[in-house]
Amino acid sequence: MEMTEAGLAAIIDHTLLAPGAVKADFERLCSEAVSFGFHSVCVNSSRVELVSGILRGTGVLVCSVAGFPLGASAGKRLEAAAAVDAGAGEIDMVIDIGALREGDHRKVEDEIRGVVEASLGRPVKVILEACLLADDEKKLACRLSESAGASFVKTSTGFSTGGATVHDVGLMREAVGGRLGVKASGGISTLDAALEMVAAGADRLGLSRSVGIMLEMRSRAAGGVVQPPAGGSGPDSA
């Protein structure tokens, strides 16, 4: 598999979810996203209106989160609706991890479906927080996400005990086939790690170190194509 600089940029959600980030940080985030041609910026819902205004007319989407980072809140549908109202083009929601683990599958599916409905046709990515789940639970979460109408499943928030791994990306890709997208996020800090995730089946990457990765690619390939590394297991933590 070959990857061009533009091709990599086009699958990156350029992410800033730090609670202490200020307006200047988001202005820089948006400037970087436009400069590199990233797919979107991903921010907390309270910042959607700000970044939507900055990015208007640029072609870069705004991705917002719901129930982030714990997945234990009751108002994800309302948060998603408010984010869409403020200009979000995509929603990344965290599942109710405890409900999944205790077997309340209907609650998990109904909550995802509620966020999908509130998002009014915008893609919804369901964050599994894979580091907290057994493989069978990850597969189940993928099935529930698909049944509820989600567009993607996503590995991690980057705020828990681990991030994206090649194993989890491959498992999730196998579970959803070509029917849903797979987003790898959390702890992806190098170009090789990013390319390993793509090779394992990710078609979207959530990165906070996007600029460094793109500069690494530019330096290595001078605008040409870069082959993913052979083997490797990717980072394990955020």
2, 219, 228, 230 from 225: Cα distances, Å: 6, 11, 10, 16
Q: What is the pTM of this model?
A: 0.93
Residue 218: its H or E element: helix 210-221
Residue 183: active-site member: yes
With a pLDDT cut of 90, the percent of the chain lying above it is 91
- Per-position DSSP letters for 155-199, written without gaps between them: ---SSSS----HHHHHHHHHHHTTTSEEEEESS--SHHHHHHHHH
- The predicted pLDDT at position 232 comes to 40
pLDDT tens digits, one per residue of 39-87: 999 999 999 999 999 999 999 999 999 999 999 999 999 999 999 999 9
User: Looking at beta carbons, which pairs linking 51-60 to residues 24 or more positions away fall under 8 Å?
Assistant: 51/26, 51/87, 52/86, 52/87, 52/88, 53/87, 54/26, 54/27, 54/30, 55/30, 56/87, 58/30, 58/33, 58/34, 60/30, 60/33, 60/34
- The predicted pLDDT at position 75 comes to 95
Q: Whats the size of the chain, residue-wise?
A: 238
pLDDT tens digits, one per residue of 124-140: 999 999 999 999 999 99
The chain-wide mean pLDDT, for the chain, equals 94
Q: Among residues 96, 138, 154, 168, which one is catalytic?
A: 154
The band of 228, judged by pLDDT with boundaries at 50, 70 and 90, is low
Pairing status of strand 12-16 against strand 204-207: parallel
The band of 224, judged by pLDDT with boundaries at 50, 70 and 90, is low
Q: Among residues 76, 125, 138, 183, which one is catalytic?
A: 183
Residue type at position 34: V
Give the angle subtended at the CA of 218 by the CAs of 215 and 223, to the nearest 5°. Answer: 150
Residue 103, pLDDT above cutoff 50: yes
- The predicted pLDDT at position 2 comes to 80
The residues spanned by each domain of the chain are 3-221
Give the angle subtended at the CA of 139 by the CAs of 157 and 200, to the nearest 5°. Answer: 70
The C-alpha atoms of residue 164 and residue 128 are separated, in whole angstroms, by: 11
Q: Among residues 13, 76, 92, 138, which one is catalytic?
A: 92
The CATH classification of domain 3-221, taken from the options 3.30.930.10, 3.40.190.10, 3.20.20.70, 3.40.50.1980: 3.20.20.70
Determine the average pLDDT of the residues in 131-153.
Answer: 98
Residue type at position 233: S
